[in-house]
Chains A and B, each alone.
Chain A
């Protein structure tokens, strides 16, 4: 069975500092994708970054990077130079990548608050 664990229910970070949001996962699927979504107070779920299980390099998207450690089954999100607008709920998620797979499995989320 697939499982995503986010152990930080909430975090406070000073503006302009870097922040790491933890995510560990468990799966028996040989091919899978890992995702991070951001949910601001407005409610929409915004896709941030994707990492494939066979990707050789860690994914980066602007200020977001994914610290993927396959042997440890971790996929931590790193946000560099945090901004006030980064305050939101962050969800780590996973999906098996065989063609008939449907669902994304989500973690419980981490609420990130950026202090000015």
Chain B
């Protein structure tokens, strides 16, 4: 079974340009997440899709970031225009969450891709 795949693995762009990152989740996973790690800092949550709907986008830094998941399959994360502080590694993860009778999540593992390293010059 294929894991989470991300493309490209590395992108180098100039400040002000646009970049689009792509994530293909594990087949059948309804939940898709984006995270990023800026140099020297922890990995931070950006947003969460359930199928094609945005469940939580509280981590999106500003309106230069636009995430989509048309059809509930792959997702794209567009940065427009890119700024120097956007440099870092962008991770995508997917999971197939199950809920217990009490309304709590069962053991739900988020499986991550290898990330896209974005360098804004």
Point out residues on A near B: beta carbons under 8 Å: 31, 33, 35, 37, 42-47, 50, 52, 91, 95, 97-109
Is A44 a contact of B114 with CB atoms below 8 Å? yes
Point out residues on B near A: beta carbons under 8 Å: 3, 9, 33, 35, 41-45, 48, 55-56, 58-59, 89, 91, 93, 97, 99, 103-105, 107-115, 117
Quick one: closest B residue to A40, CB to CB?
Answer: B114
Docked Cα-Cα span, A42 to B114, in Å, equals: 8
Docked Cα-Cα span, A102 to B47, in Å, equals: 8
Enumerate chain A residues within 8 angstroms of B9, measured Cβ to Cβ: 43
Known: A44-B114, A45-B93, A108-B41. 5 other contacts (CB 8 A): A35-B110, A43-B117, A52-B107, A99-B97, A107-B42
Is B113 a contact of A47 with CB atoms below 8 Å? no
